Amino acid sequence: MIKTSTAPYAALILRVSLGILFLMHVSLKLFVFTVPGFVGFFASLGLPAIAAYAVIALELLGGLALILGIYASWVALPLAAEMLGTIVLVHGHNGWMAANPGGGWEFPALWMIALVVLYLLGDGAMALRPAPRS
C-alpha cells in the first residue's frame, strides 16, 4: 500500500538526493579529471568526444533539474540510460562490487533503479515545473 500523504515527500527526497549526487559526479569530471581528461577517457573507450560533452551536460543540467523539480521525472529517464551505458561500457567488466579495482557496477545499477523509481513516482512535492502526467 502507498502512503499517499507522504509519497510526494519521498519523491522530493529521492529527487533532490539524486540531483546532488549528479552534481557531485559531474564536479569530479570537471575539476578532478578535467574536461580534456574526461574526453580522453571517452576516446579510450572508442566513443566520440561529443559523447563526453553530452554526458557532462546531461549530468549538470539533469542534476539541476532534479533538485529544482523541473520535469524531473522525465529527466530521470536519460540519466537512467546514462547509468546503463556506464554499466555496459565502463564498470560491467569490473564485477559487481564497487570496491573491486576500477569500481564494479553496483552503484550505477542502484542509481539507475532509483531514477526509474523517480520516473514512476513523479516529481514529488515542491517541484517547480512538474512533468504532466497522463
What cell numbers appear for 34 in the block? 578535467
Structural domain count of the chain: 1
> Which residue range is the domain that position 96 belongs to?
8-121
DSSP 37-90: HHHHHHHHTT--HHHHHHHHHHHHHHHHHHHHTBSHHHHHHHHHHHHHHHIIII
134 occurs within a structural domain:
no
Task: Report yes or no on 45 lying in a domain.
Answer: yes
Q: Is 70 helix (H, G, I), strand (E, B) or coil?
A: strand
**CB of 26 closer than 8 Å to CB of 60:** yes
Residue 69 belongs to a domain: yes
Mean pLDDT computed over 92-118: 89
Q: Is residue 55 part of a domain?
A: yes
Residue type at 131 in one-letter notation? A
Q: Within a domain: residue 23? A: yes
Question: Tell me, what's the pLDDT at 93?
Answer: 83
pLDDT of the residue at 134: 59
Rounded Cα distance, 132 and 95, in Å: 39
Mean pLDDT over residues 98-124, rounded?
A: 92
Within a domain: 2: no
Q: Is residue 110 part of a domain?
A: yes
Q: Look at residue 132 and tell me if it is in a domain.
A: no
Q: Tell me, what's the pLDDT at 102?
A: 79
Quick check: 60 pLDDT over 90? Answer: yes
97: Cβ contacts below 8 Å, ≥ 6 apart: 104, 106
Backbone angles phi, psi at 99, to 5 degrees: -75, -10
> Is residue 10 within 8 Å of residue 121, measured between CB atoms?
yes
The Cα–Cα gap between 41 and 12 comes to 34
In this prediction the pTM is: 0.91
